């Protein structure tokens, strides 16, 4: 499994979503790497782990990531959140904090989880993988940007990066869909032993922001932030996203539940993190 190390400062592990790779975090990495050493995980079958035929399984992948990284906060985007949450539950001594970006412990709708996605969405992707992998991923990219204020520009940016290392491995895509369709980690949340940040997106058409808020409500001592973005907020709201993440990691200063339109200014000293009203802001003063 390929793990790129970038930046300087305390460690942060980052895990991408379905069919993606960590290169897609782009501008977010530029902002966070000024104050954090980033461990950027490309899951088996994805990105620079394209030729890694390991099973895309929560426990085996988490074990491999933990063995290759120091104790650190883990951030998971979308599917990546399932790995981060599993790690926080099974290895609280290694996962020092948890950040869930447009991610929930359960993705599929249920009677007691009405905010989830219709299972047919996943089954349609499963069918698509059997006929045309590239077209199926393209269709998924379009869904990721649906609802964005600048959807065409966001889709263009995603396309420019998504296939930089070729199409994801079909077997890994199928494994990922299986996880999204069948995993339910909600029971872990009340006993979660690390502090957590849950970031939803108001315009997200894949992960309902109400599901993110509902998950945050189940975790003791959690923080919840909502951005005015789509499913990939690092494309359109990198400053706000970096601000929310850094405030949580540095001081845990993001309020219990809030909308965040943060402005981010890199602070080499690591100081000057604070909250003003409902906006996490960064004072670059030394």
Please count the other Cβ atoms lying within 10 Å of the Cβ belonging to residue 25: 25
H helices, E strands: number in the chain: 10, 10
Options 42, 175, 204, 261, the catalytic residue: 204
Active site residue 78: yes
* Radius of gyration, alpha carbons of the chain: 17
pLDDT digits (tens, 9 = 90+) for 131-174: 999 999 999 999 888 877 778 888 888 888 899 899 999 999 99
* Band of residue 251 on the pLDDT scale cut at 50, 70, 90: low
Helix (H, G, I), strand (E, B) or coil at 208: coil
> Could you give the count of Cα atoms lying within 13 Å of 128 in the half-sphere of its Cβ?
16
- Lowest-pLDDT range of 76-90, 107-121, 135-149: 135-149
Dist CA 173 CA 44 (whole Å): 10
> What is the rounded CA–CA span in Å between residue 163 and residue 65?
23
What's CA 217's distance to the chain center, in Å?
18
2-282 has which CATH code?
3.40.50.1820
Q: Which of 78, 222, 229, 267 is catalytic?
A: 78
**Which token pair is 125?**
């992707």
Query: For tokens 């940040």, what's the residue?
Result: 197
What rounded mean pLDDT belongs to the chain? Answer: 88
pLDDT in tens, 43-68: 999 999 999 999 999 999 999 999 99
Tens of pLDDT, residue by residue over 211-235, are 999 999 999 989 999 999 999 999 9
The residue from 21, 46, 224, 231 that is catalytic is 231
Q: 104 or 282: which carries more pLDDT confidence? A: 104
Contact call for residues 216 and 137 (beta carbons, < 8 A)? no
Is residue 204 annotated as part of the catalytic site, yes or no? Answer: yes
């Amino acid at each position: 499994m390929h793990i790129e190390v970038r930046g300087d400062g305390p460690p942060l592990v980052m895990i991408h979503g379905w069919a993606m790779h960590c290169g897609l975090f782009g501008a977010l990495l530029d902002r966070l790497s000024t104050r954090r050493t980033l461990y950027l995980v490309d899951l088996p079958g994805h990105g620079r782990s394209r030729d890694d035929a390991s099973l895309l399984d929560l426990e085996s992948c988490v074990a491999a990531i933990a063995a290759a990284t120091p104790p650190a906060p883990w951030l998971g985007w979308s599917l990546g959140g399932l790995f981060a949450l599993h790690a926080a539950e099974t290895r609280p001594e290694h996962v020092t904090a948890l950040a869930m970006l447009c991610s929930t412990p359960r993705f599929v709708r249920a009677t007691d989880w009405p905010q989830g996605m219709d299972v047919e969405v996943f089954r349609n992707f499963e069918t698509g993988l059997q006929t045309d992998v590239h077209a199926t991923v393209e269709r998924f990219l379009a869904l990721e940007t649906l609802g964005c204020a600048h959807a065409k520009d966001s889709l263009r940016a995603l396309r420019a990066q998504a296939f930089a290392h070729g199409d994801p491995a079909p077997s890994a895509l199928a494994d990922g869909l299986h996880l999204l369709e069948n995993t339910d980690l909600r029971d872990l949340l009340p006993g979660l032993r690390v502090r957590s940040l849950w970031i939803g997106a108001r315009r997200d058409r894949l992960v309902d922001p109400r599901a993110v808020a509902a998950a945050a409500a189940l975790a003791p001592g959690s923080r919840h932030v909502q951005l005015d973005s789509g499913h990939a907020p690092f494309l359109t709201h990198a400053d706000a996203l970096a601000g929310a993440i850094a405030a949580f990691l540095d001081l845990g200063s993001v309020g219990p539940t809030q909308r965040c339109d943060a402005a981010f200014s890199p602070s080499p000293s690591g100081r000057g993190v604070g909250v003003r009203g409902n906006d996490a802001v960064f004072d670059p003063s030394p």
